């Protein structure tokens, strides 16, 4: 029992160290890309941003509006048409917690599986070996632009989620429950400070970095069997979800100590 637990802990620690090294190497490769291969790397980056960010914005809008409307409906049913309190609760619940968390979950479901499956397929088909044979750095061309692309998409989509939730939910609430506009804005501004924005940015940044690097590591871990591709994609999703929830708890706890 103890031996099994020890092996599991060592394996998890080793994989976590590999993820950290992948992130560090991605930043090194980013600065090295200014010397060579900028056009090709930029194309991979833009494709990743288009897939993860632009094509994922539709589901972000839908979930943000629905979530904001549900929160306002619950607040109105408890305290009545108190626009100030409604605005404060939106900041506390949506901006601090749900926006970065749900955005990361959506990106994991869409882009995480795609990255792990794509890299696994490329490895089985010998494309990665062919790229290395041509003298192209695999991590600079395949890993770094995907990590930066997913991270950029998560940060932008999180901000998009917050704005959509605030604006969309207010429009629906003002029509359905006639919430006062001035009270709603006052409640948001009174609860919105630099610490909330900073925590939002830190969470979305770390979520994007760890999700993308985790999925890349699992994709490259595929051997020579086709059956390993769905297994790698599943492990990438589950590990990314656990990592995101752990990071969310750690960042929230540290921010409460820092700003309390």
For residues 71 and 93, the answer to whether their CB atoms sit within 8 Å is: yes
Tens-binned pLDDT, residue by residue, of the chain (260 aa): 656 656 666 666 777 788 888 888 888 877 776 566 677 788 889 999 999 999 989 899 889 888 888 888 787 777 766 667 777 888 888 888 899 999 999 999 999 999 999 999 998 988 888 888 877 787 888 888 999 999 999 999 999 999 998 888 778 777 777 777 777 777 777 878 888 889 999 999 999 999 999 999 999 888 878 888 999 999 999 999 999 999 999 998 888 876 55
Domain ranges of the chain: 38-259
Helix (H, G, I), strand (E, B) or coil at 222: coil
- Class of residue 246 by CB neighbours under 10 A (exposed 0-12, middle 13-18, buried 19+): exposed
């Amino acid at each position: 029992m103890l031996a099994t637990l020890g092996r599991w802990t060592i394996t998890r620690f080793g994989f976590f160290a590999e993820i950290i090294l992948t992130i560090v190497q991605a930043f090194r490769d980013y600065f090295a890309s200014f010397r060579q291969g900028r056009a090709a790397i930029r194309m991979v980056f833009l494709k990743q941003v288009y897939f993860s960010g632009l094509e994922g914005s539709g589901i972000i809008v839908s979930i943000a509006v629905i979530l904001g409307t549900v929160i306002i409906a619950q607040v109105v049913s408890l305290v009545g048409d108190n626009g100030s309190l409604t605005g404060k609760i939106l900041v506390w619940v949506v901006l601090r917690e749900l926006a970065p968390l749900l955005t990361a979950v959506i990106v994991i479901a869409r882009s995480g599986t795609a990255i792990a499956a794509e890299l696994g397929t490329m490895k089985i088909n010998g494309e990665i070996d062919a790229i290395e044979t041509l003298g192209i750095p695999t991590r600079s061309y395949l890993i770094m632009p995907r990590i930066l692309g997913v991270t950029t998409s998560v940060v932008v989509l999180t901000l998009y989620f917050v704005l959509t939730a605030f604006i969309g939910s207010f429009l629906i609430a003002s029509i359905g429950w006639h919430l006062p506009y001035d009270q709603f804005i006052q409640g948001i501004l009174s609860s919105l400070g630099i610490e909330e924005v900073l925590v939002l940015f830190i969470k979305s940044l770390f979520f994007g970095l760890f999700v993308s690097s985790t999925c890349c590591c699992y994709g490259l871990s595929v051997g020579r069997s086709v059956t390993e591709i769905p297994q790698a994609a599943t492990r990438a999703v589950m590990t990314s979800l656990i990592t995101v929830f752990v990071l969310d708890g750690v960042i929230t706890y540290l921010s409460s100590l820092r700003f309390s």
